[in-house]
A = this chain, B = another copy of it.
Amino acid sequence: MTVATESPQLERLKAILAEVADLSHAQQILEWDARVSMPRDGAEARADVAATVTRLAHAHFVSDEVGKLLDDLDAAGQDPGSVEGALVRITRREWERASRIPSALAGEMAQASGVAVAAWDEAKAASNFKSFSPHLERQLELKHRYIACFPETDEPYDVLLDEYEEGFTTAQVEEIFGRLKGELVKLVERHGGNAVEEIAGPYPVERQQEAGRLVLDAFGYDANFWRLDETPHPFAAKPGFGDIRLTTHTDERDLTSLFSTMHEFGHGVYEFDIDPSFARTPLGRGTSSAIHESQSRTWENLVGRSQGFWHWFYPRLQRLFPEPLGSVDEETFVRSVSAVRPGLIRGDADEVTYGLHIILRFELERELLAGTAAVSDLPEIWNQRMKESLGVDVPDDAHGVLQDMHWAGGLFGYFPTYQLGNVVSVQIWDRARKQLGDLEDQFSRGEFSQLREWLSEQIYRHGSRYQPAELLRRVTGSEIDPEPYLKYLRTKFA
């Protein structure tokens, strides 16, 4: 809504930003469709389309006019605490980053990602790293060209990380991960050995989908606004206000899809609950990847692996799966889905080993970018490190280096935010429990609305109004701190 007192410059800026947001929503539909609906051989043409939309959106945004409007608005003096001040601030940040790179490069990156993700799909299905490696080489080459557009930083990786996590440096990640790694390894040593066995399936796919829907309904999913589909690699997208899309991956051998669904719900609800007046502006999305992941991990783990949640949901799940679960009691089941169980797949990992999967990827990304690891050696390095950190033998690349889509999509710098999200999630969680009291009791009755409302009020509705560090300070009163997270793990797995 344009308020009558808005300056003509702000009005004009918002009009341009609305178009840029529309194009970004178009890109999201193109990408969602490519993952969910597109016939296999549409990939090449689709990459062209994505490249063109990205290039034009980029050119539209980095125009001199936007720069001039930002200068005028800054000169007029925006209240940095106001919504308008936040809008100008975040727009300037994005404009300055985007202006450094040529529109042609933005288009090339979109094109390469479209082609590489399709190639990854096939490579993973065939467990054939060799067919994928040229695409990974190409992505690295593009990342180098991208990084070269920015002023020199302590480490090239800083440029990529800052895209997802404003103001965060590689050195900070290193420090936090360094602190975590030793502790996680200790926890794995202590609890990974006496692993509780998985409760063997099969869990028929349709029944799992029904279970997922039951949970989503209780969390607050509404089919007028949301949808849920199957993809090999789960993700969430918001191709427009009022249009939230989650995907999950259901495998009848285990119940992982349920946790994926809850994870993606966390992303979806963050986006869904953003103040509608922020629509079609850069304020209208989550403030950073780590804050986003903190919310997906909250709903997946802090809610979805809690005693209270299962006290409510386990009888329902038993009714859906009388065969494998009828004779398994609640306590045994909860212990099983929470157990520390070193495994091959990040997406299936428990709360303790998950961090080690991320740390591996963070290390490898930096080595690939620095050229100290070669693409051709990647499977071997991967397998060796998995053996070292988790003690597991990788049987093939599909269960190893090819498991994640991120590198195909060019998302170097994203992985660390998953683990930062874990850290942040517990800081926020502690605060929520201080304010709301013990939530488990509500969960055990299938009630999740008080938590959701609190999170909306504290985090979701603000979109990108506050920088991630500022938001965290506002909610928790402190900086990012791995201690509460470690304490949570130590207590839970004591």
Chain A interface residues (CB < 8 Å from chain B)? 18-19, 22-23, 25-26, 29-30, 32-33, 36-46, 48-49, 51-53, 55-56, 60, 223-227, 239-244, 279-280
Q: Roughly how many angstroms separate A49 CA and B19 CA in the complex, as a whole number?
A: 8
Q: Are B42 and A240 in contact (CB under 8 A)?
A: yes
Q: Are B46 and A56 in contact (CB under 8 A)?
A: no
For residue A55, which residues in chain B have a CB less than 8 angstroms away from its CB?
19
Q: Are A39 and B241 in contact (CB under 8 A)?
A: no
Chain A binding surface SS class: helix
Q: Roughly how many angstroms separate A239 CA and B45 CA in the complex, as a whole number?
A: 8
Q: Are B29 and A33 in contact (CB under 8 A)?
A: yes
- Min C-beta distance of A275 to chain B, whole Å: 15
- Min C-beta distance of A287 to chain B, whole Å: 20
Q: Are A46 and B224 in contact (CB under 8 A)?
A: no
Q: Are B30 and A48 in contact (CB under 8 A)?
A: no
Q: Are A41 and B225 in contact (CB under 8 A)?
A: yes
Q: Roughly how many angstroms separate A60 CA and B59 CA in the complex, as a whole number?
A: 12
Given A19-B52, A22-B52, A52-B23, CB of A39 within 8 Å of CB of B244: yes
Q: Roughly how many angstroms separate A11 CA and B309 CA in the complex, as a whole number?
A: 62
Q: Are A240 and B37 in contact (CB under 8 A)?
A: no
Among the listed B36, B226, B243, B244, which residue makes an inter-chain contact with A46, where contact means beta carbons less than 8 Å apart?
A: B243
For residue A56, which residues in chain B have a CB less than 8 angstroms away from its CB?
19, 23, 56, 60
Q: Roughly how many angstroms separate A30 CA and B40 CA in the complex, as a whole number?
A: 19
Q: Roughly how many angstroms separate A29 CA and B56 CA in the complex, as a whole number?
A: 17
For residue A243, which residues in chain B have a CB less than 8 angstroms away from its CB?
38-39, 41-42, 45-46
Q: Are A279 and B45 in contact (CB under 8 A)?
A: yes
- 30 example contacts (A-B, Cβ-Cβ < 8 A) are as follows A18-B48, A18-B52, A22-B49, A22-B51, A23-B52, A23-B53, A25-B45, A25-B49, A26-B26, A26-B49, A26-B52, A29-B30, A33-B33, A37-B37, A39-B224, A39-B226, A39-B242, A39-B244, A40-B225, A41-B224, A41-B242, A42-B225, A42-B240, A43-B242, A44-B240, A45-B242, A46-B239, A46-B243, A49-B240, A56-B56
